[in-house]
Structure 1
Amino acid sequence: MTTFHDVLLILTFVFPLLGSLILALSFGRLSERASATIGVASIGLAALCTLWVGIEFYDQGKSAQTLTLWHWVTVGDFRPTVGLMLDGLSLTLLGVITGVGFFIHLFAAWYMRGEDGVTRFFCHMNLFVFSMILLVLGDNLLLLYFGWEGVGLCSYLLIGYYYRTPANGWAAFKAFIITRTGDVFLAIGMFLLYDQLGSLNLQTLLARAPEIWSQGGLMPQLTALMLLGGAVGKSAQLPLHTWLADAMAGPTPVSALIHAATMVTAGVYLIARMNGIFLMAPDVLLLVGVVGALTLLVAGFAALAQTDIKRVLAYSTMSQIGYMFLALGVGAFDAAIFHLMIHAFFKALLFLSAGSVIICTHHEQDMRRLGGLWRKLPLTYAGFIVGGAALAALPLVTAGFYSKDAILVSALASGHGVLMLAGLFGALLTSIYTVRLILGTFHGKPKSDNARSAHAGKGLVHGTPLVVLIVMSTAVGAQLTPPLDEVLPPGPVAEGMAVHILEFTAMIVAVGGVLFAGWLFKRRRDLIRRGMADPRGARLWTFWHNAWGFDTLYDWLFVRPYQGVVRVNRGDWINSLCNILPWLARASHQGLRTTQTGLMRHYAVSMVLGATLLLVFLLVG
């Protein structure tokens, strides 16, 4: 029997789906205000349902609940269901998706004013949220995979929202293709799991894995590796990371939704949810941490050399997801999810603040043409200060300090000192590029007419999301501890003097990085100019600006060889053989076309000849 609690859980994804359907079936006849109202209200109602579900979840002792809606088909022993599973992990993600997603939608109602296709925009945004909710609530991998593909499709539609610009279409296409590459690995992992364990139900898989597999065996290692392939594609980790920065082609609220509440967190969720499989494959689990450490360093250096404020934030997202992978790799699944939640707060704040800068400066987002905005945009400046402080993990007062500190302590406790040092160095890079971003955007003199004529954003739909996210990015947000004790295995625990030394070192690194960056970019910019004047410095900056040349590398490794094979095989005999039928069709068409002269006597002669031939055939036969 379906209870009121079950109905609320269902409504968390029905409301976004309903909003998307209403907007899609309006065929563009709705006004801009009506479209925004439907788009925002649907996510707001989903957020309220999530809040109610969360309260009841705590009242019922935080016990996991499952709800089977219906069975799809029966094929032998395979009976996939449409079922929902609510536990501490899915509730945490559900709160992030609907809560942060609501404020992003609310801000988008201000940001998208006057744009063409607002109905289409909110339709795809609602569908995006629906797909992500389906991904985290699904009680089996098949339903998770449907949501997984749904967010990929919606990212394509939203990244290419300004489709009249060819570069935006290519950015959307690039994101779609690269993430599909990862999806193939995930699909293979699902096939292996069903073949080996006989089910795709999440709870059944985690229960059967230690019964059937031996730890460190070939099959758990191979399966975990396939799941990791899917995760790195969706979460933009090495080597499938090159799509994320180009995804900035979409409207800024889209960037906020992708980077903070949906999509890039899907890979982290997948590994955390399938923790039992990865614990059976310790080598692959360590690889998760190594991938995260490498990504956070590569992205950190790339962020230092960006001039577009959104691309700086994009590489910072890549780096912060790298921290989450590092935590997963050392077995600190709870720390990874805690940082995922905190990151959603301050990254949504930073992207929405960047959107405010872009609109208020007449769509200017190049730091080299900004500056002098801190007096003109006080609320936006406060958003960057608080969000940037949380990103840099300034001690005690920011939420980012607590989540990042938990990751570093876990790395120390696991005995992976190299990963811990990578995390510390990544924190230093984060502090430096964050200060560079804030100083370049808000301080100094205005460097363009757009910056000089900037105007402050107004209205509740502009200010409310920023104020709420500012509060949640402080130590207040860190008080929301995800209820993960009953879901995820406990991570490594460290005690004693070493922990205090690490915590103090992390504080010194964060504060020292901010002070050094302030001194360098405010007082000694001549050092930067001299470095850029040196050919080696200029080449290094270009190398980092182009994100270590991965796009060029992939172009040489994959795109050009494929194009070469196509050119070589363009005239091969198989192709020629296949062209016989089209050639015959064209030749027949040309022959028959000559008979269409438009002269009645020709048609009459043809009819007489045809009738004569038919009679002769009948007589002879």
Structure 2
Amino acid sequence: MSQWLWLIPGAPLLGALVIALLGGLLRREYFAMAANCAAAAAFAAVLLAWFTGAASQPLQQTLYTWIAVGDWRLAIGFTLDRLALVMVSIVSGVGLLIHLYSAASMAEETDQRRYYFFLNLFLAGMLILVLADNLLLLYLGWELVGLCSYALIGFWYREPLPSNAGRKAFIVTRVGDTALALGIFLLFSQFHELSLSALLTHATTQWEPGSQLATLVAMLILGGAVGKSAQLPLQVWLPDAMAGPSPVSALIHAATMVTAGVYLIARTHPLFELAPSVQWLVAAIGALTIVYGASSALAQTDFKRVLAYSTISQIGYMFLALGCGAYALALFHLTTHAFFKALLFLSAGAVIRTGGDEHDMHNLGRLGNHPPLARWTFLAGAASLAGLPFVTAGFYSKDAILATAWTAPAGPLLWMFAAVGALLTAVYIFRAYLLVFHGPGPRTSTISLPPLMAWPLLILALLSLVSGFVELPEGWPGPHLWSTWLEDELGLAAFPSLTITYTLQAIAVLLPLAGIGLAMLLIHREQTGQSLPAADFLRTGWGFDAFYHAALVRPYHALARGLWRTVDTLVIEGALTRITTGFLAFAAFCRKSVEHRVLEVGIASLVMALQIGYSRLSATQNGFLSRYALMISAGATFLLGYWLW
């Protein structure tokens, strides 16, 4: 199978090239077919890797030498170990379902060629990022994902909201991308190596824990992860990214772009273990982001913005697990989150589509008449997101993170933030469910979804419920297949004593149930005209956008205007005016001195000479034959003498 690893990212990349280069020869309905075939080929290659032993033995493939400078070489190469196998399975599997859903939901769009080109290219970029065996190739995939997200979020670029949202996502994530690039430069300057395995080996053998270089590199890598995964303080781009199509939201917020930062930290976790302070900072950022995202989601009225803030919060759980050294559990929650969050976005997209593109949850509740399948699949996703005990995948993945957080430095404080986030998660997601599906509008409906929309919802609903059974909670009898399988690469998570663990698990069981009750009370308050305390503050995401606008955007605009007035107007335009005046004066001088004095005199002299020559030559043409004969004889004598001489 090693020789076919290239097919995993290569299939969607080839699909994008076919759509781009041959799209003019294809009918509109063939774009979706080509993109879906490419995504299916990538997923089939991943399944083949599973069946041919990649789950037990890492696979490697080197395609060709990319850069050669002296004795230093850098190759295009892929590595498929267990960490990468999990990621490519999620990315290609959920990506394929979203491609299939898009074939029906985007069927009426006119610019399908551009949509499917970037959708395939986005999938290829994420797969390159995951499989890359060196940091430069990883960064190539990282930037490709960022570029495609800009194009997909701003797909409806003729409208100001999607266009601005795409630019915002691109600009904000550039901050993190710059930090990651600096981290790569620093690593290369120290070890003259870009191979991931070689870099991690050199770092762990040559750097002491807590050293300045290790801390600085870990901080720079964390900056890249924070930007791409929308964690505090670079989370402001994600809620606005809802302006894109619903399949794009599902792809970006569930299985691909926002999980790239989690994968990056998990892949480079030996560097973070060399910088304990930075690793604890990862946990602290995650804990704060959990509460930030969950509390902001409470006050939203836009259906998809609730899910956007939910994504910010749930990625926070993954960062919390990473900061606690529970890398396998972070990956476990990443997996379950990919299933239930993609399900929630696609179900919401189906409701919005049948509701006349209405996004306000109160208006959707008044409209009613939502597709029954969308309602029940959304409920399955909401239950898994809330961590409804025993029957949902989200319960098992989130419970494990809550328990392991207790063992970290300042563990009880981190656990408290995570527990509050778990309670708020159940509140906001069931508030959204009750507002949309139990509003005053009619609840019965005969609307059915196309098969290409229905089957992805059913598959994701099933996975949202049963995928958690591969890792039962600590201390429970039953399988711990997930952590055991990933132990060699990611190690095992630490848990408190069984007494504390069982206590934390009991609390984790009660939190979502209490959250559902609070959601009902919140709905009752809203129906009686009472708003949530600090609703405006929470609805605006704690005012981060306003703060950045006041602290960064306005000063930047003021600086730009000042430079325009001083540099552009006074310096550049003044210099150009002086240069133009000088050239005009030089042109006038040339016109007077050269044109009038030289050219006109020269032309007049030439005309006079021609006139004199004409008068002299015309005298020879007088009609006397004897003179003509004399001239011919003189000419012939001259030529004969010249030749003989």
Q: For residues 111-161 of structure 1, what are the alpha-carbon distances to aligned partners after superposition, in whole Å with 9 as ceiling and x for unaligned? A: 101112011101100000000000000001100000000000000000110
Q: Would the alpha carbon gap of residues 106 and 316 (structure 1) be closer, same or farther in structure 2, given more than 3 Å must change?
A: same
8 Å CA contact 2:230, 2:238 repeated in 1: yes
Q: Would the alpha carbon gap of residues 453 and 472 (structure 1) be closer, same or farther in structure 2, given more than 3 Å must change?
A: closer
1:368 maps to 362
Q: Would the alpha carbon gap of residues 582 and 224 (structure 1) be closer, same or farther in structure 2, given more than 3 Å must change?
A: same
For the aligned residues, what is the CA RMSD? Answer: 2.6
Separation in 2 of the partners of 1:75 and 1:174? 38
Separation in 1 of the partners of 2:445 and 2:586? 69
1:18 maps to 14
Structure 1 residue 45 displacement after superposition: 1.2
Q: For residues 263-322 of structure 1, what are the alpha-carbon distances to aligned partners after superposition, in whole Å with 9 as ceiling and x for unaligned? A: 100000000000000000000000001111111111111101111110000000000000
Structure 1 residue 572 displacement after superposition: 4.1
Separation in 2 of the partners of 1:302 and 1:247? 16
Q: Would the alpha carbon gap of residues 573 and 304 (structure 1) be closer, same or farther in structure 2, given more than 3 Å must change?
A: closer
Structure 1 residue 613 displacement after superposition: 6.5
Separation in 2 of the partners of 1:314 and 1:97? 19
Paired residue type of 2:440: K
Separation in 2 of the partners of 1:300 and 1:376? 26
SS at match of 1:409: helix
Once the two structures are overlaid, the 10-residue window that deviates more, 214-223 or 191-200, is 191-200
TM-score, structure 1 normalization: 0.90
1:323 aligns with 2:317: yes
Structure 1 residue 452 displacement after superposition: 9.4
8 Å CA contact 2:394, 2:468 repeated in 1: no
SS at match of 2:518: helix
1:150 maps to 144
1:441 aligns with 2:436: yes
1:493 maps to 495
Given candidates 2, 6, 9, the residue that maps to 2:5 is 9
Paired residue type of 1:465: P
Q: Would the alpha carbon gap of residues 145 and 455 (structure 1) be closer, same or farther in structure 2, given more than 3 Å must change?
A: farther
Q: Would the alpha carbon gap of residues 18 and 590 (structure 1) be closer, same or farther in structure 2, given more than 3 Å must change?
A: farther
8 Å CA contact 1:396, 1:475 repeated in 2: no
> Gaps (5+ residues) in structure 2?
472-480, 606-645
Paired residue type of 1:474: L
Separation in 2 of the partners of 1:128 and 1:246? 19
Separation in 2 of the partners of 1:30 and 1:82? 32
Q: Would the alpha carbon gap of residues 573 and 399 (structure 1) be closer, same or farther in structure 2, given more than 3 Å must change?
A: closer
Given candidates 469, 489, 499, the residue that maps to 2:460 is 469
Paired residue type of 2:530: R
1:502 maps to 504
Q: For residues 403-436 of structure 1, what are the alpha-carbon distances to aligned partners after superposition, in whole Å with 9 as ceiling and x for unaligned? A: 1011111112335111111111100000000111
Once the two structures are overlaid, the 10-residue window that deviates more, 479-488 or 15-24, is 479-488
Given candidates 513, 516, 520, the residue that maps to 1:514 is 516
Separation in 1 of the partners of 2:452 and 2:568? 61
**Larger CA Rg, structure 1 vs 2:** 2
8 Å CA contact 2:336, 2:467 repeated in 1: no
Identity %: 43
2:179 maps to 185
Structure 1 residue 495 displacement after superposition: 3.7
Paired residue type of 2:458: V
Once the two structures are overlaid, the 10-residue window that deviates more, 504-513 or 22-31, is 22-31
Q: Would the alpha carbon gap of residues 388 and 575 (structure 1) be closer, same or farther in structure 2, given more than 3 Å must change?
A: same
Q: Would the alpha carbon gap of residues 531 and 169 (structure 1) be closer, same or farther in structure 2, given more than 3 Å must change?
A: closer
8 Å CA contact 1:373, 1:454 repeated in 2: no
8 Å CA contact 2:35, 2:99 repeated in 1: yes
8 Å CA contact 1:360, 1:454 repeated in 2: no
Given candidates 378, 394, 418, the residue that maps to 1:400 is 394
Given candidates 289, 294, 301, the residue that maps to 1:300 is 294
1:241 maps to 235
Once the two structures are overlaid, the 10-residue window that deviates more, 325-334 or 410-419, is 410-419
Paired residue type of 1:612: V
8 Å CA contact 2:388, 2:509 repeated in 1: yes
8 Å CA contact 1:316, 1:430 repeated in 2: yes
Separation in 2 of the partners of 1:42 and 1:581? 56
Q: For residues 540-563 of structure 1, what are the alpha-carbon distances to aligned partners after superposition, in whole Å with 9 as ceiling and x for unaligned? A: 111111111101101111112222
Paired residue type of 2:314: Q
8 Å CA contact 1:327, 1:336 repeated in 2: yes
8 Å CA contact 2:66, 2:76 repeated in 1: yes
8 Å CA contact 1:30, 1:119 repeated in 2: no
1:141-220 map, 5 Å: 141-220=135-214
1:550 maps to 544
1:430 aligns with 2:425: yes
> Gaps (5+ residues) in structure 1?
596-601, 617-621
Separation in 2 of the partners of 1:456 and 1:587? 73
Q: Would the alpha carbon gap of residues 571 and 385 (structure 1) be closer, same or farther in structure 2, given more than 3 Å must change?
A: closer
8 Å CA contact 2:317, 2:330 repeated in 1: yes
SS at match of 1:154: helix
SS at match of 2:63: strand
SS at match of 1:413: coil
Once the two structures are overlaid, the 10-residue window that deviates more, 274-283 or 556-565, is 556-565
Q: For residues 168-203 of structure 1, what are the alpha-carbon distances to aligned partners after superposition, in whole Å with 9 as ceiling and x for unaligned? A: 111100000000111000011111111223311111
Paired residue type of 2:209: Q
Paired residue type of 2:508: A
2:636 maps to none
Separation in 1 of the partners of 2:527 and 2:272? 49
SS at match of 1:430: helix
1:18-167 map, 5 Å: 18-58=14-54, 62-76=56-70, 78-167=72-161
SS at match of 2:62: strand
Structure 1 residue 574 displacement after superposition: 9.0
1:338 aligns with 2:332: yes
Structure 1 residue 55 displacement after superposition: 1.9
Q: Which protein, 1 or 2, shows the higher relative CO under an 8 Å CA cutoff with sep ≥ 6?
A: 1
